[in-house]
Amino acid sequence: MKIELTVNGEQREADVWEGESLLFALREKLGLPGSKNACEQGECGSCSVLLDGTLVCACLVLAAQADGHDVVTVEGLGATGEPHPVQEAFVEAGAVQCGFCTPGLVVATVDLLAHSPQPSEDEIREALSGNLCRCTGYAKIFDAVRLAAQ
Amino acid sequence: MGALGNGTRGLAGGTDLVPLLRDGLVAADRLVDLRRVIPSGIDGTAIGAGTTLAELEADPQIPDALREACRLAASPQLRNMGTIGGNLLQATRCWYWRLNYPCRLHGGDVCHAREGQHREHAIFANDYCASAHPSDVAAALLALDATVETTRAAGPLAGLYRLPDDHDRNLVDLGADELITRIHYERPEQSVYLKAMDRKRWAFALVGVAAARYDDGVRLGLAGVAPIPWRLASLDDLEQATPLPGTAYKLELARALGRRAIAAVGG
CATH of A2-73, one of 3.40.50.10800, 3.10.20.30, 3.40.50.1240, 3.20.20.140: 3.10.20.30
Per-residue pLDDT, averaged over B21-50, amounts to 94
CB contact under 8 A, A21 and B201: no
Task: Tell how many helices (H) and how many strands (E) occur in chain A.
Answer: 5, 5
Residue B148 predicted with pLDDT over 60: yes
Which pLDDT does position A136 carry in this prediction? 86
Per-residue pLDDT, averaged over B103-125, amounts to 97
Cβ of B141: how many Cβ atoms within 10 Å? Answer: 31
Please state, in angstroms and as integers, the Cα–Cα distance from residue A16 to each residue in A25, A42, A51, A63, following that order. 7, 21, 18, 7
**Cβ atoms of B34 and B11 closer than 8 Å:** yes
How many Cα atoms sit within 13 Å of B95 on the Cβ side?
8
pLDDT in tens, A127-147: 999 999 999 889 999 999 999
Is B229 inside any structural domain? yes
Chain A residues inside the 8 Å CB shell of B18:
21, 42, 59-62
Interface of B with A (CB under 8 A): 11, 13-15, 18-19, 21-22, 31, 33, 35, 74-78, 80-81, 201-202
Which pLDDT does position B4 carry in this prediction? 64
What residue ranges do the domains of chain A occupy? 2-73, 85-149
Q: Using pLDDT thresholds of 50, 70 and 90, give the confidence band for residue B1.
A: very low
Chain B residues inside the 8 Å CB shell of A57:
15, 77-78, 81
Please state, in angstroms and as integers, the Cα–Cα distance from residue B258 to each residue in B117, B194, B226, following that order. 26, 8, 16
pLDDT in tens, B243-263: 999 999 999 999 999 999 999
pLDDT in tens, B209-247: 999 999 999 999 999 999 999 999 999 999 999 999 999
Q: Residue B66: exposed, middle, or buried by beta-carbon count in 10 A (0-12, 13-18, 19+)?
A: buried
Q: What is the CATH number of the domain that holds B192?
A: 3.30.465.10
Per-residue pLDDT, averaged over A73-101, amounts to 96
Residue A71 predicted with pLDDT over 70: yes
Per-residue pLDDT, averaged over B10-32, amounts to 94
Query: Mean pLDDT, chain A, as a whole number?
Result: 97
**How close, in Å, is residue A82 to chain B by CA atoms?**
27
Give the three-state DSSP class for A131.
coil
**Cβ atoms of B176 and B140 closer than 8 Å:** no
Residue A63 predicted with pLDDT over 80: yes
Which pLDDT does position B5 carry in this prediction? 64
Per-residue pLDDT, averaged over A66-87, amounts to 96
Q: Say which CATH topology domain A85-149 has.
A: DNA polymerase; domain 1 (1.10.150)
Total count of domains within chain B: 1
Residue A28 predicted with pLDDT over 50: yes
Q: Using pLDDT thresholds of 50, 70 and 90, give the confidence band for residue B3.
A: very low
Per-residue pLDDT, averaged over B134-152, amounts to 98
Containing domain of residue B214, as a range? 8-264
Q: Using pLDDT thresholds of 50, 70 and 90, give the confidence band for residue B160.
A: very high
Which pLDDT does position B41 carry in this prediction? 98
Chain B residues inside the 8 Å CB shell of A18:
31
**B210: Cβ contacts below 8 Å, ≥ 6 apart:** B65, B69, B139, B140, B142, B143, B144, B191, B192, B193, B194, B220, B221, B222, B223, B261
For the four alpha carbons of B175, B176, B177 and B181, in that order, the dihedral sign comes to positive
Q: Using pLDDT thresholds of 50, 70 and 90, give the confidence band for residue B2.
A: very low
Q: Which of B93, B111, B92, B94 is nearest to B102 (CA)?
A: B111
Is B2 inside any structural domain? no
Is B3 inside any structural domain? no
Q: Give the whole-angstrom CA distance, residue B119 versus residue B85.
A: 28
Q: Give the whole-angstrom CA distance, residue B15 versus residue B137.
A: 15
Which ranges of chain B would DSSP assign to H, the alpha helix?
17-22, 53-57, 64-71, 76-81, 84-88, 95-98, 112-115, 136-143, 248-264
Nearest CA in chain A to B33: A65
Is B143 inside any structural domain? yes
Residue B43 predicted with pLDDT over 70: yes
